[in-house]
Amino acid sequence: MTLQRPAVATSRGVTSRRGAQWLDLGLLLGALAVIGVLVGWWNVFSRRLIEENRALQVSHADVPVAQAAERAGRLELMIVGESFVLASMLAALVVGLWLVARERQRRTLQMARLLQFTGHEFKTPVAGLKALLEALKAGRVPLESQPRLLDHGLHACDALEHLTDSMLVLQRSRAVDPKALAHEDAMSLVLNIVDHRRVAHVGEEVRVGDLESCLVRADRDAVRVVLENLFDNARKYGGAKTTVSSATEGQRLRISIADSGRGFAPADAERLFEVDQPSSNDGVTHGSGLGLHLSRQLARAMGGDLVAESEGPGKGAAFHLWLTRVPEVRS
């Protein structure tokens, strides 16, 4: 079954964002134009004062014309230089403020889209749980069906708990400098998650490949959330068999989770991490987008990254979590 993503970004929302962008650009150009007019006016006014001063010196003092002209030239050069410096500083200030405002606006829009999408992800399982509880209360569920439906309800609760945990860890990780993260043993991080999956998800086959033993800068909770999201994604769309491995490349560590399931078109690799883009037209998806989006944000908050690759539909997929290695201290 193809998982349909909710259409978060409407045409009206796109139009309003484009209008806001053009308005911001117009304000920036207007501010620069005002700066140019003011600096130009000050430059003209100063030159007139210089000319009047030179005329007074020539007419009321025993100052040679050539000497007065030389003084006026130096003053004029000084005024032009000061005008250029002043205009450059004001322009840099305006552009800097504009860039800060644009970044704040981008983050606000990103958070608004994320909250809207998260609200949709919460609404669906909550509605299902409510319907289940109402059916149980009214006695409309046969006894033989209750265990199966209760399992579905518990699974929905687990999904809601996991989504909430992801959001909380993301908010906390954004406030921490990646260079200030703790030094964690990469192999221990992976094996702890694998052990938890084998206990919590009976029947899920996780094969452990080659694992690199090294220290990385990482948030233990963030790595746990990312790997849990990747394992859940592989379980849904990659079949029951998943392989986890790790390897070092330069100053980075790559933790890979691969499956042999549905895969996706290579051109859709980046779209998997977007929460407001429709899925591809080939009917192949590899996750709903929110879990992968949050996972990439967590990876980048730790100074790493999360990428996906596949050779095509039906050929499996691999997700690579990149983390920064801690340089070895040699005695």
**Could you tell me what percent of the chain has a pLDDT over 90?**
20
In a domain, 331, yes or no: no
pLDDT digits over 155-201, tens only?
788 778 877 877 778 777 777 778 788 899 999 999 999 998 888 77
- Which whole number is the average pLDDT over 314-321? 91
Same domain, residue pair 48 and 23: yes
Same-domain status, 162 and 199: no
Last residue of a domain, one of 113, 135, 162: 113
Most confident of 148-152, 209-213, 276-280, 289-293: 209-213
Confirm whether 5 is domain-assigned.
Answer: no
**One domain, residues 319 and 217:** yes
Q: Which domain holds residue 288?
A: 181-325
Place of tokens 């539909």: 313
131 and 109 housed in the same domain = no
Do 168 and 290 share a structural domain?
A: no
* pLDDT given at position 13: 47
The mean of the pLDDT values for the chain is: 77
pLDDT exceeds 80 at position 3? no
Instruction: Pick 127 or 192 by higher pLDDT.
Output: 192
Q: Is residue 4 part of a domain?
A: no
Q: State which of 91, 113, 135 marks the end of a domain.
A: 113
Structural domains in the chain (count): 3
Same domain, 189 and 318: yes
**Of 74, 91, 113, the domain-final residue:** 113
Q: Answer yes or no: do 200 and 317 share one domain.
A: yes
